[in-house]
Chains A and B, each alone.
Chain A
Amino acid sequence: MKAPLKWLSKYVDINVSPKEFADAMTMSGSKVEGIEKQGEELVKVVVGRIVSLEKHPDADKLQVSKVDVGTETIQIVTGASNISVGDYVPIALDGSSLPGGKKINKGKLRGIESNGMMCSIQELGYTRYDFPDAAEDGIYIVSEEILKEKYADAAKALGKDIREAIGIDDTVVEFEITPNRPDCLSIVGLARESAATLGTAFRKPDIKVNESGGDINEYAKVEIMDADLCPRYAARVIKNVKIGPSPQWMKEFLRAAGVRPINNIVDITNYVMLELGQPMHAFDLDKLEESRIVVRRAREGEIIETLDGNQRKLEAGMLVIADGKKPVAVAGVMGGGNSEICDSTSSILFESASFNGTSVRITAKKLGMRTEASSRFEKGLDVNNVVNALDRAAQLIVELGAGEVAGGIIDCYPGKLEPRVIDLQQDRINALLGTDISRDEMIRILRSVELGVDDKTGRVTVPTFRQDIEEMADLAEEVARFYGYNNIKPTLLPGKEMTRGIKTFKQKMEDRIRETMSALGLYEIYTYSFTSPDIFDKINLPKDSKLRNAVVISNPLGVDYSIMRTTTIPDMLTVLARNYNRRIEEAKLYELSYTYSKDNPRTTQVEGIDESGLPEEIETLTLGMYGKVDFYDIKGVAEGLLAELGITEYEFARETGNPTFHPGRTAVLMIKGEYAGCIGEVHPDVLEKFDISTRVYAGSIEVDKLVASAGHKAQYKPLPKFPAVSRDIAMLVKDEVMVKQIEDVIRKNSGKILEEVSLFDVYKGKQVAEGMKSVAYAITFRAADRTLTDEDVNKAMEKILEGLKNELDAKLRE
């Protein structure tokens, strides 16, 4: 809401600088977004009159003019063609400056001296939106009427600052008004807040209507059919309407408030809306069939052409203003073209009404036309402001000489809304705020924003323009914001029961996961939770994959962000690709985030509220790396993490069927026999689609599965008292034999004295026959109760070697 200070000052004394005013208003709850000083950048630009115009001797397109700027007559060379002798124009004098920092100095144009510049409206920093009378292309010719209105005699304007002359010299404060305070979407509402904030007087507009006789009831009738959506509808009739431009002062106010001046009638409706917060509408009375207004729900299929020229198909249930036959406006949203005022209009019916906010909001949304009026109505306007606004408009009609106000008013107001009355309860207010504010002070504050307080009973009467004040907490806020939020003494929950600030086991495990990832050299990433449906093809998922069944966003930012992800691998690959394509040699990354599974609805319930419409959210640890790494690096990360979490009952099983991954280099992680994740080298087909031409290793692990098995109770085991004996063996086995099989055989055959089996070499190549590989282990034996003898160890080794030979056809290498 833009509030021009000159307008605001009609209703409140502002006794401080604009900056101080803005700060004070912000601190009392009317947040100031900005202060605009109109014409701030215009320096030394004055009103001049063209005295003579001659052709430039050496340039066809230039003219040499003499301009009277009050104190002198100066010569200016101009390229403009829309000017004539006698025109009043803005003159940027020698040494002047224009918006954007443009400086104007005297100089010569094609050899002829020029001592300034004539300005277009754009050069003054405005557009034809604000000044519709300005030439589309050329110098802004200031109308003599404007100057006469301001200076009585246009000639007296010569040499005057252009800002003053055309009324662009106000300071405009822009407020951010929260949706609970529609009353502050008005100059009067802001004046009320200003007065309470500054402690100065608030003057309500003095509204008096000079009626010209006749009886409105002879000219028009109003009927409310659907009072649930229209609690009040008031109308006045204006006869002998003279459409024309508004006076300069009104244009200046409107322009400063960001509203385009159009003609006196439209301007009056806008002016009243801005000043009092009540949207209004003017119908051409002669175009209303049967001279009737009927407020009713639309009939299915009814069509109206709105003022913006669009045909709108109405739905049953939308509230319309109709005449005897047809809709003439969408209530609270926009008027219809069929009843629009035009230059030949002679009688108008002014509408000032109250409409149900929710209904207006839904209608505007469905029709796709949020208007200034609808955005006000939807916040819930004061039903008791309706007639006030209507009278203000009638008063302005008379003041502007725009017509004659017919006698009387039609006011359909079936159920009068009474002000809410609540108890002051100053003890509870102080208890909520933690303050010790006296009852008198509270009463003073409440009265300053026009809440009525009965001294004796403490009953607070809340005017109907403050629908936001319903109970004690709301009064507490009113008291607090003028007492000063920052005068409330800080305390720290004194005397409250202790609460325990500790993390849950799961939260601790999440911390440990991150710490372990850091220790293992991985960097954490964050990616969006929504993605494109294309990614399933990119990671080679079969058409019938369950992962394709994603939660879909009904109003996404675009198709690329339209589904909630069911897998995090594509986002990891995208990040790896980005790094790779920026020529970063190595990346080792992880993410801790969620996937969303529509197939598994939530089963939780709180107070019987069904949550099965919500998907299960699966916390996932995603790994990804490229560079000097291979499968065993990503596996090492997984193993390191499992060790850090104290998980021992797990195994990695070969996975050949995951189409995202390399069929020979992928493993699933099974914890206690249950699937917990998958790691591997990413399939080259997939990498191609992500535009990566190096090997990439990735994987994902379900965090809940980790947490469920994580052991957190470390138990001390005595350190060994007797020495260990270590033997190395190397053997040849067929290539397809996995080391896991060899280890299993060793473990099975070595009895109780085995301490550790440790792989130290795998070799394939020249010295080894085709289809075979050499595998070498260090096997450590130890007994808890004695020193092992050679015999003990030899016996164990014999069994191991025999087992390897029999079960895996291994050949011992010497």
Chain B
Amino acid sequence: MREQLENIKIQAEKELVNAQSIQELENIRVRFLGKKGELTSVLRGMGALSPEERPVIGQMANDVRAILEARLDEAARQLASKERQEKLASEVIDISMPGRKRSFGKKHPLTQVIDEIKEIFLGMGYQIAEGPEIELDYYNFEAMNIPKNHPSRDVQDTFYIDDNVVLRTHTSPVQARVMKTQKPPIRVICPGRVYRSDEVDATHSPVFHQIEGLVVDKGVTMGDLVGTLKEFARALLGENTNIRLRPHHFPFTEPSAEVDVSCWGCGGSGCRICKGEGWVEILGAGMVSPKVLRECGINPYEFSGFAFGMGVERIALSRFNIDDMRLLTENDVRFLKQF
């Protein structure tokens, strides 16, 4: 019996090595270790053994079974792994083929610029204020220290509905509304659509967008204005951006400034974007005129403030390198997809 068991082991091991599939392994298992398998039939002859030999042979049979089972499992693992490898090898695809299209739309470049500017100021504690586009002459002009028949009105060619109603020429009327309804501290930005009677061309549009900002509090200084605009310019255009203020005149601020930023195209050495100047004008700003504060019910001896404003189209054009403003309102899908 010893010999028989030994033979079973040798025979089974030999066949194991040659087995090519899980099925073949299973056949081997059934043949040698199954209920009707060879090992079982050998063990059936146990009864003929002496009581001394029985446990010895029994132990031996168990060992053979254990060894064979281990071998079978091992062979099965190897085969499975081989089969997995082959399957993987057969499943190579052309990864250079294009991915399946998912159609996402996009926000208009103007919205993208407005959103970015809003984010910067929200982060600095500003709220977003809005007001009507068809506006009272009073808010658009008079509250902004631009009386009727004043030459300053020439600077902003205005669309009139009637003597008292205009299409707002800037978002400043929103500032007036905010000052009349909120108590300082005030920190708001006023984004919105504005109108001036400019003929349409590559750099002008009678409809465009502005974002103005207003801060009113105790002890607000022009230094705060400079610091705020510098912070803003860096957030919008990069950490290395510098700003430069040039004295200017706006009826609603005093002192007033035009604000240039160092050119993001060339960093200041001169290029096409900055027309060789190294600076690009993007903002108007100043300390809120005491006349405006008084008109809006704020005591200029107690409070001071600053205001600034910028044209969104202008920033969008230079930021995206767009050379014609009309593209923004043409809305060609091939244009809109680019941003």
Contacts and interface: CB of A to CB of B under 8 A. Distances in A.
Interface of A: 26-29, 31, 178-181, 357-358, 361-362, 375, 378-379, 431-435, 471-474, 476-477, 480-481, 485-486, 488-494, 496-504, 507, 511, 514, 517-530, 551-557, 561, 564, 575, 578-579, 582, 584, 586-590, 594, 596, 602, 606-607, 609, 611, 613-615, 617
A524 B336 contact: yes
B105 A615 contact: no
B333 interface: yes
B123 interface: yes
A28 B167 CA distance: 34
A555 B223 contact: no
Given A434-B222, A485-B245, A579-B333, A471 B290 contact: yes
A500 B105 contact: no
Contacts of A179: 150-152, 154-155, 249
A614 B164 CA distance: 10
Contacts of A476: 254-255, 287
A614 B136 contact: yes
26 contacts: A28-B247, A179-B154, A362-B149, A433-B222, A473-B287, A474-B254, A477-B255, A477-B256, A486-B245, A490-B223, A491-B227, A493-B217, A500-B125, A501-B123, A501-B125, A514-B111, A526-B110, A526-B329, A527-B331, A564-B134, A579-B333, A584-B334, A606-B177, A613-B164, A614-B165, A615-B134
Nearest to A554: B160
A607 B127 contact: no
B71 interface: no
B265 interface: no
A620 to B, nearest CB: 13
Given A525-B336, A579-B332, A518 B107 contact: yes
Interface string B206-226: 110000000101111111101
A762 B224 CA distance: 66
B151 A525 contact: no
A480 B164 CA distance: 36
A29 B333 contact: no
A552 B161 contact: yes
A555 to B, nearest CB: 6
B175 interface: no
With a 10 A CB-CB cut-off, give which of A28, A492, A524, A525 has the most chain B CB atoms: A524
A493 B254 contact: no
B319 interface: no
Contact of B199 (A435, A557, A582, A587): A557
Contacts of A525: 108, 331, 336
B311 to A, nearest CB: 14
Interface string B101-116: 0011111101100010
Nearest to A558: B199
A492 B135 CA distance: 33
Contact of B133 (A31, A472, A617): A617
B105 A477 contact: no
Given A485-B245, A503-B128, A617-B134, A493 B215 contact: yes
Contacts of B9: none
Which interface class (under 10, 10 to 19, 20 to 34, 35 or more) fits B?
A: 35 or more
B160 A555 contact: yes
A488 B185 contact: no
B162 interface: yes
Nearest to A177: B249
A116 to B, nearest CB: 35
Nearest to B286: A477
A553 B167 contact: yes
Contacts, number: 252
Given A29-B248, A477-B256, A524-B111, A551 B223 contact: no
Contact of A493 (B103, B132, B167, B224): B224
A575 B227 CA distance: 42
A614 B332 CA distance: 33
B336 A523 contact: yes
Contacts of B81: none
A582 B133 contact: no
B122 A503 contact: yes
B330 interface: yes
B128 A491 contact: no
Given A434-B222, A524-B108, A590-B105, 4 more contacts: A31-B258, A481-B255, A493-B227, A500-B127
A518 B106 contact: yes
A490 B221 contact: no
B102 to A, nearest CB: 8
A521 B104 CA distance: 4
B222 A493 contact: no
B176 to A, nearest CB: 9
A519 B104 CA distance: 5
A481 B103 CA distance: 54
Contacts of A615: 134
B328 A526 contact: yes
Nearest to B124: A501
A561 B248 contact: no
A478 B244 CA distance: 18
Nearest to A26: B246
B289 interface: yes
B121 interface: yes
B227 A492 contact: yes
A613 B161 CA distance: 10
A344 to B, nearest CB: 39
B3 to A, nearest CB: 59
Contacts of B193: 529, 594
A606 B336 contact: no
B171 interface: no
Given A493-B215, A523-B336, A617-B132, A477 B247 contact: yes
Contacts of B332: 578-579, 582, 584
Given A31-B246, A499-B127, A613-B164, A551 B134 contact: yes
Report, nearest first, the 10 A-B pairs whose CB atoms are least far apart.
Answer: A434-B223, A434-B221, A29-B247, A490-B227, A477-B255, A178-B249, A521-B103, A485-B245, A525-B331, A524-B108
Contacts of B159: 553-556
Contacts of B167: 530, 553, 564
A526 B255 CA distance: 35
B149 A358 contact: yes
Contact of A485 (B122, B132, B160, B247): B247
